[in-house]
Chains A and B, each alone.
Chain A
Amino acid sequence: MAEALTGNHAGGISDAAAVERTLAGEREAYRVLVERHSAYVYRVAYRMTGNSHDAEEVVQEAFLRAYQKLRQFAGNANFGTWVYRIAANYAIDRLRQKKNEESRREVSTRKPESDTEADPLSQIRDRAPNPERLAGSAQLATKMQQALQALTPAERTAIVMRHWDGCGIDEIAEVLKSNNSATKNTVFRAVQKLRQALKPFAESRGAARAVAES
């Protein structure tokens, strides 16, 4: 969580003072915290949910929940880190809820399928363009976005927290409500699935590199 999450600011009041004043009933003081940390929480939420609409909802809900729980906020902690965790918790709940709803819908409308067909990653592979067509970062980004969407909510949360935000395994475990060993496995599974999904692209790049080097 490297980005601008420091509690003190050259301009305006510090996070700690804003928290204290909010708790004292000064609602405008909370505005300082919202304006200061919204963009960062948005980026995290976007990576977890994969779209702006859901990300914006996660941001709003995270700040509403943080306001309600503000008395539980430990003074020695960092407000940015704290609201980040609330956002991550809410995002994972939301992802799980959506996934359950989708599975219910699919079960009611779909004919029985074989295991291979039901695997979202294999579906992505099936829908994927040929390796020749996969060139350039735009396609790679789309492919990666699809691969991320195909991960389970826990895998997605784990890889977002680990890769982009540099969170420790224990921090991720806390959000996933799991233990460290299981969390390490979740991160590994996410990487494995992403590798599988990107294999055609990686192979085509490898082939292109081999051609260029020969």
Chain B
Amino acid sequence: MKHTNEEELFAYREGEMKGRETIAAHLRECGECRAELERMEEVFQALNVLPVPDPGEEYGTRVWRQIANRLPERRMNWWAGFFMPRRLMALVAAAALLILAFYVGRKTGPKAGGEETVDASKVRERVLLVAVGEHLGKSEMILMELSNAQPAEAGKSLINISTTQKRAEDLVEENRLYRQTALNGGDNAMASTLDELQRVLLDVANSPAEVTAAQFESIQKRIAAQGILLKVRVVRQELRTQEAGSRPAPAQNDSTAKVRNKA
């Protein structure tokens, strides 16, 4: 009878599915291997006896006192508040309304009888479609650059990804906002793609500025494994189609300064 080796027993204990049935069957028959598994289990039980000192109830307050003076000041510019997620939503909505008025004034002009019909939601949607489309375009560039780079050609032990990393960092906050907007709007497919994109962007943003060839390859593999580049392309294409569909028919009248000024 062939006994299970230590590695197989460990994999079995860890819940590994490969060969699980065979090992389980063997363990039922073989007392020696069962005893071996029990001895392995004792190591994990022994880990539990390791004491960790209780830092005390006030520990959090103590940590705060130790670090508070070392935290850099977060100076907010007067406009920076607008870029907080909630406020930015309001900003986008406001911008959409302004564009709406401007757009209506320029392209459609006043309707017969002087009534101005505006479809705020459509215009706002279009603004968002364009913005998200641009965001996905920038993300796609980063993903393509990383996927197509040849680490071997660098000829160095470390690869500097700081430039790409900076760009990924810049896109993280933006991506988060669009993901939230998609969720709020009930567009779960878009939210899911942006969620996956967020992980890849964070992955790149949090990597060291200089990575080894193996680490770089690992980033490439993660991008490839998730198929995120393809997903981004597909969503981007869909957005382009939607955006073309939401574009209004060519204007029939000349623009009117009157409406634009009103806006």
Considering only CB atoms, which chain B residue lies closest to A36 in the complex? B60
Q: In the docked arrangement, what's the CA distance between A201 and B47, Å?
A: 13
Binding site for A on B (CB under 8 A): 6-7, 10-11, 14, 39-40, 42-44, 46-47, 49-53, 55, 59-61, 63-64, 66-68, 70-76, 81, 84-86, 169, 172-173, 176, 179-180, 195, 198-199, 202, 205-206, 215, 218, 221
Q: In the docked arrangement, what's the CA distance between A37 and B14, Å?
A: 29
Q: In the docked arrangement, what's the CA distance between A151 and B119, Å?
A: 66
9 contacts between A and B (CB under 8 A): A20-B86, A25-B75, A39-B55, A47-B50, A72-B172, A74-B176, A75-B85, A75-B176, A201-B46
The reply on A27 being an interface residue by CB < 8 A is yes
Decide: A76 near B49, CB < 8 A? Known: A34-B67, A191-B43: no
Decide: A38 near B40, CB < 8 A? Known: A64-B70, A76-B179, A141-B50: no
In the complex, the answer to whether B53 meets A163 with C-beta atoms within 8 Å is no
Partner of A63, one of B6, B49, B63: B63
Number of interface residues of A (CB under 8 A): 56
Q: Which 9 A-B pairs have the closest CB atoms?
A: A35-B60, A38-B60, A25-B76, A38-B63, A34-B64, A137-B49, A25-B74, A42-B55, A46-B52
Partner of B10, one of A22, A64, A188: A188
In the complex, the answer to whether A191 meets B49 with C-beta atoms within 8 Å is no
Partner of A72, one of B72, B195, B202, B218: B202
Q: How far is the CB of B181 from chain A (nearest CB, A)?
A: 12
Q: In the docked arrangement, what's the CA distance between A74 and B47, Å?
A: 33
In the complex, the answer to whether B66 meets A71 with C-beta atoms within 8 Å is no
Decide: A140 near B49, CB < 8 A? Known: A76-B195, A188-B7: yes
Q: In the docked arrangement, what's the CA distance between A60 and B180, Å?
A: 31
In the complex, the answer to whether B172 meets A191 with C-beta atoms within 8 Å is no
In the complex, the answer to whether A42 meets B47 with C-beta atoms within 8 Å is no
The 8 A CB mask of A168-205 against B (1 = contact, 0 = none) is 00000000011100001001100110110010011001
Decide: A144 near B85, CB < 8 A? Known: A35-B60, A74-B176, A202-B42: no
